[in-house]
Each structure stands twice: as structure tokens, then as C-alpha cells.
Amino acid sequence: MSNRLTRLLAVVVVAGLAVTLGADAQTTRSHTVKQILVDGKSVASASDVTVTTNGTAHHSIERGESIVDGTRIDVPSGVEVVIVSTDEKSTVTLEPGASITFVSTGKGEVLRSNGGKALFDVVRNTLDFFRVQYGDHITAGVSGTAFSIEAGAQDVTFTCTRDEVSIAKSGFVQIGSVRKSVTLIDVISATHHSAVTYKPQPVWFLTPDFPNLAAAEAFFQRQLDDARARGDSAAIDAALRNLGNMQAEQGKYAAALVSYQEALSLSRQLGDRDGEAKVGGDIGNVEADQGRSAAALAAYQESLALFREVGDRDGEGVALLDIASIQRHQGQYDAALKSAQQGLALVSRAGDRDGEAAALAEIGQVHEDREDYYLAAPSFERALTLFRAMGDREGEATTLALSAYPYAIIGKMDQALSLTQQALSIFRALGDRSNVGSTLLNIGSVHASRRQYAEAFTSFREALAIFHELGELDQEAAALGLIGAAQESTGENDAALQSHQKALALFRQIDDQGGEAGALLDIGRVQYNQGEFSASLASSQQALALFQGLGDQHSQALAFNGIGLVLEAQGHYPEALDWYQQALSMYHKLGDFGPDVDDAFTNFGRVKARLGPSQLPSPQPSASP
């Protein structure tokens, strides 16, 4: 599967959408009805106010009534309800016709605006965070302010009457012919740009179209310059994160890290621990994009600790999904599955369907990577159902592409090809050329697995041309690697070596150590097929050193097996046996099974039989649980 599609699903998960219920200190705080007004007169109770908790609704509300987490309140015309949290750290006023859901109450508070107009007043520095979500695309976050949200049938207006409000928006940016899925942040304040109106849609473009990534970066640089000129710390922080996003999209990882690090320092200066945790996640994403798994994991774990410290359960869920992705790439499948399932539980309880779909897709990828294909398919199918229900065409296409691979492996090639072609059609309709290229790689892989090499080369080379035109060097390198693998299968070893060497050069150019290690392993395999055993050994050892530095244990096992093959071909049988044993031990440690494990076991058995009786214990063959 292509790295591009894997990363895209990670992007779909947006920090700060909703907080789940937790059995911790959050339960010590609550909300209470402070005042009820009917036609402007204070009353002790009111009828026709719908209060829904755990699916059960009653149609009245009383002064002093406790509002538990998960409760939705719908206020009719002529009625106004004022609700406060413990110690009156926050006050929510539901005007006639308003609807609010109280999602979670703890060190921070999260609510959801369902419609109508509501006013919010938060005492500064009394909560770790306060957020109000509107729909699947917008979340307003404050530390202490007064603001309102008025939601109509087609739009929603945010108005700030004291201090500032940061508004996170998830949607798309059109850059040339490429559509990017992003999260951007706006800041409104009582003194500068006090109100903003949005018209969110399933396919929502957040900015003007840009001719290229450089123009997009320049746009956000101007946004940053303007914020600095005003001396607005919250706006500077938001602009730095937006700028970092665009820099990362261009592969300007060093520049992106500088932007994120400055935002991180600013969050710390402001005492915004929740914001600090979010920027830490941004930093982890940049490290992950560079193949620096250990650094990414450290950043995500630090964010996770901060989210837990402040009681931000939605942030915790997102961080767990990020951690699961890294653990999966490192071959730590049991740990990845545990992290992803924990993340799924958090986002599901919050009613965050988008996050739930992404979590299910991550679980599917864990099962897929550990070669447990029959478990992968149901997870992808559940994710696909959710994306379709939300009208998220990009998520739908991505999941279709991901779900094709298990069917290809279990021999259902027609179904695999149908799924990838459906994904391709959607990406073409969306104008998303980058993911058109990624899906073409997947289609080519299906053709290659059916030994339809002419069709495979056609798909691979079309994808290669797209990535070269877009300047996406990592994906260009991935395409070259797949072309090289197909050339190996057709016996074109010289051409395959050239393809893998071009991929290696590109991975080194963008400092993608994971890609570099994989390319070196590919080169070593071709050199082995050519009988160049010394060169093959050197390439495989270089790959192993990189995999060890990255903590990628599954790939280390592949390198162990490759080194064993070379040593066996050179007649160094005891040494070869030792390397095969190391591969099997690593697979056993990871709980892996499947063709890679069976291959190492076969190699071990062949050399052991050649050597005769041995003191080494016989490993057990792979068996799917």
C-alpha cells in the first residue's frame, strides 16, 4: 500500500473535535441550570424544553437541575435557559430556539452547538480548555472569553465580545490541480475582526485557490506577518501552525519544524498546555513524514501525556491513533492494535464519526500489515460505511483503496481491482491528482500480483509521471520502487537495479530514512539475483543499520533474512543459520505470521538440514491464529 494513502487517513483525524466521558477527575465537575426565563420573566421551571440523556427525552427543565455529560437541551421559542458549570467557571445561555449538547465536563469542558443562538462566558485561566464544536468541521476553543455561536440552516456565525476565540476548521485547500485535506485556524477578537460567518459543506474549501504550494506558503506567511504586527499572541500561534502545515506539504520539513517549535514555545509562554499538546502532534507528523519513527513516537507520547494531564480525551484519542500508526510502521502490531482500539473507544463515545472512521481504517491497516487479511476487511468496511454516511468522498475513496489490498492477498483479485478502480474514479472526480497517482500504484500492484505486467507497468508509469509533475519526491520514489519490483519479476534485473537506485537517491534527497532503508533492501535483493553477493551483503547491512536506528523491527527481520540468503549463497552456512534464527526470533517477538515468516522458516530448515544435527532449537512454522 502507498504511504500517501496511509498518511491521508491520518490527516482526516483532527485534534479538538470532541471529548469523551472518562472515569476520572472529570466526573467531579458538572453543569447546573441557574436560571430559566419565559417571555423574559424568571421562573422555577418550564415545559416544552426537551432534555435528552442516553436516548431518553423528557420535556421540562427545572432551576437547579443537574445536567450530566452527554445531555442535549433543545429550547423552544419564548424560553431562555442559563446553565453554569461547577464554581461558575463557565456560563452557557441558550436563547430561544437554541440546541446544545454538553459533551464533557472536567479540567476542560466541551460542548456541541446543534442549532440556534447560544452565548458562552468563560472565566479566564480557570479551565485547561473550553471548546464548542459545530458539525464535523468547526471547533471554537478559548481559555477565557465571551462569545456567541448562531447556527442557521446553511451557515454559522461566531461573534467574540471579550478577548479572543480560536476556530479550527477542517476542509480542503486547492493548490494547482491538487486538493489538500487540512485543518486551519482562524482567530477572532473583540478588538480585531470580532465576527466571522462560515458556510461549511461536505467538500469545504477553506481559502482562495492557489496556483502552487509556494503561493499557499506566501499567503500564510503574510497572515503571520500581520499577526506579529498586531502583537496578537493567539493569532501568531495560529498563523505559525498554518504556515507549518504548508511547509510540511512542500517537504520543507526543517522550515516546518521551526514554525512548529516557535508555536510550541508560544503555547508554553501562554500556559496553554492543551495547545502545547496539539503542536507536539504537529511536530510528530513532520517527523513521521521523514521516516523518523522514534522521534515521531516521542513527540506523540509527549502530547498524549499532556492531553491526559489536562483531561482532553479527544486529544488523547487522536494521539493514540498517531501512536498506533507509528507502532504499526515499526512492526509492533500488538501494541498498535491496542493503541488504535483505545483511540477508537474515545472518539466513538464522543460521537465523532470522522475520527471513528479513521480509527477503524487504522485498525484495518494493522490487521493488513500483520497479514491477518480476514480481520482487515471488516474494519475497512465499517470505516467505508461511516465515510459514506458523512458524505466524505475523500475518506470513502481512501478507504476503498486501502480495503482492496486484503482482497488481493486472499486471491479475490477481481474484487480488489474493482475497489481500486472505484477509488480512482472518485479521486479523479475530486481533482485530487496526488491520490490518483497513489491509487494507480495500487491498481498496478494488483495487476502485478496477477502477473499482468504490461498493465502494471502502464499504471506505475502513469503514477510516476503524475508525482514527478507534482514534485512529490517521496511518492515518485515509491513508484520507482514498484517499477523496480515488477522489473525483477520479469527478469529485467539491470533495469530493476537502476529503478531502485533512482528511488534511493530521491529518498536520500528528502532525508526519508525509512524509504532509504527500504530502497537499500531492494537493491540488495537485485544484487543477490545478479550474483553480486558482496555488494548485496553491503546493501542489506546498510538497510539493517537504518532500520535499527528507526526502531522498525519487522523490517529488521526482513534484513536478517536477506543477509542470511547472501551468506548461504557464499557457503557460510553456520552464519546464515544464525541470521535466519534472528529473523525468526524477531518475528516471534512481534507475533508475526504469514509469508515472510514462512520464508524465513523454510530458509532456516534448508540450511539446518545441510549442516546436519544442530544444537539450535527448531523454530515453529507460521500459523495464522
Residue 2's pLDDT is 34
Residue 618's pLDDT is 52
pLDDT above 70 coverage of the chain, percent: 93
Nearest in space to 369 (alpha carbons), one of 605, 558, 541, 559 = 558
Q: Retrieve residue 1's grid coordinates.
A: 500500500
Burial (CB count within 10 angstroms: exposed 0-12, middle 13-18, buried 19+), residue 423: buried
578 within a domain of the structure (yes/no): yes
- By the 8 A CB rule, do 584 and 565 touch? no
User: What CATH number does residue 120 fall under?
Assistant: 2.60.120.1440
Backbone angles phi, psi at 199, to 5 degrees: -125, 75
Q: How far apart are CA 21 and CA 345, in angstroms?
A: 10
Number of separate domains in the chain: 2
Q: What is the mean pLDDT of residues 374-381?
A: 90
User: What CATH number does residue 563 fall under?
Assistant: 1.25.40
Nearest in space to 595 (alpha carbons), one of 618, 569, 621 = 621
Nearest in space to 69 (alpha carbons), one of 27, 120, 118 = 27
Residue 12 clears pLDDT 50, i.e. is over it: no
Interval 600-614: pLDDT, tens: 999 999 999 988 765
Interval 215-272: pLDDT, tens: 888 999 998 999 899 888 888 988 999 899 888 877 788 999 999 999 999 989 888 8
168-180 as b/e: b if 16+ CB within 10 A: bbbbbbbbbebbb
Which helix (H) or strand (E) is 568 found in, with range?
helix 553-569
161 within a domain of the structure (yes/no): yes
Residue 586 clears pLDDT 50, i.e. is over it: yes
Q: Retrieve residue 495's grid coordinates.
A: 533495469
Do you know the residue count of the chain? 625
73 within a domain of the structure (yes/no): yes
Residue 45's pLDDT is 96
- pTM of the predicted model as reported, rounded to 2 decimal places: 0.72
147 within a domain of the structure (yes/no): yes
Secondary structure letter of residue 88 according to DSSP: G
The interaxial angle of helices 493-509 and 473-489, nearest 10 deg, is 160
Domain boundary among 209, 241, 266: 209
51 within a domain of the structure (yes/no): yes
* Confidence class for position 624, pLDDT limits 50, 70, 90: very low
Domain that holds residue 619: 552-625
Residue 596's pLDDT is 87
Angle at 287 between CA 285 and CA 291, to 5 degrees: 110
Question: Quick one: three-class SS letters along 234-255?
Answer: HHHHHHHHHHHHHHHHCCCHHH
Interval 99-119: pLDDT, tens: 999 988 888 899 999 999 999
* Confidence class for position 412, pLDDT limits 50, 70, 90: confident
Nearest in space to 88 (alpha carbons), one of 121, 128, 48, 54 = 121
Residue 399 clears pLDDT 80, i.e. is over it: yes
Residue 443's pLDDT is 93
Q: How far apart are CA 296 and CA 285, in angstroms?
A: 7
Residue 71 pairs in a beta bridge with 102
100 within a domain of the structure (yes/no): yes
Nearest in space to 71 (alpha carbons), one of 111, 44, 43 = 111
Domain boundary among 209, 235, 261: 209
Residue 27's pLDDT is 44
Q: How far apart are CA 209 and CA 198, in angstroms?
A: 17
Residue 617 clears pLDDT 50, i.e. is over it: no
Interval 20-67: pLDDT, tens: 323 343 447 899 999 999 999 999 999 999 999 988 999 999 999 999
Report the range of poorest mean pLDDT among 357-366, 490-499, 587-596, 600-609. 587-596
Distances from the Cα of 61 to the Cα of 37, 81, 120, angstroms: 11, 9, 20
Q: Where are the alpha helices (DSSP H) in 391-470?
A: 393-409, 413-430, 433-449, 453-470
Question: Quick one: three-class SS letters along 142-166?
Answer: ECCCEEEEEECCCCEEEEEEECEEE
Which helix (H) or strand (E) is 4 found in, with range?
helix 3-12
Residue 578 clears pLDDT 70, i.e. is over it: yes
Mean pLDDT of the chain: 88
170 within a domain of the structure (yes/no): yes
- By the 8 A CB rule, do 501 and 524 touch? no
Q: Retrieve residue 447's grid coordinates.
A: 495487476
372 within a domain of the structure (yes/no): no
Q: Is 531 left (phi over 0), alpha (psi -120 to 50) or beta?
A: left
Interval 485-525: pLDDT, tens: 999 999 999 999 999 999 999 999 988 888 999 999 999 99
Question: Quick one: three-class SS letters along 598-609?
Answer: HHHHHHHHHHHH
* Confidence class for position 420, pLDDT limits 50, 70, 90: very high
Q: What is the mean pLDDT of residues 555-578?
A: 95
Residue with cell 461536505: 202
Domain boundary among 209, 237, 253: 209
Q: Retrieve residue 150's grid coordinates.
A: 448562531
Secondary structure letter of residue 205 according to DSSP: B
Angle at 566 between CA 565 and CA 570, to 5 degrees: 115
Interval 424-483: pLDDT, tens: 999 998 888 888 999 999 999 989 988 999 999 999 999 999 999 888 899 999 999 999
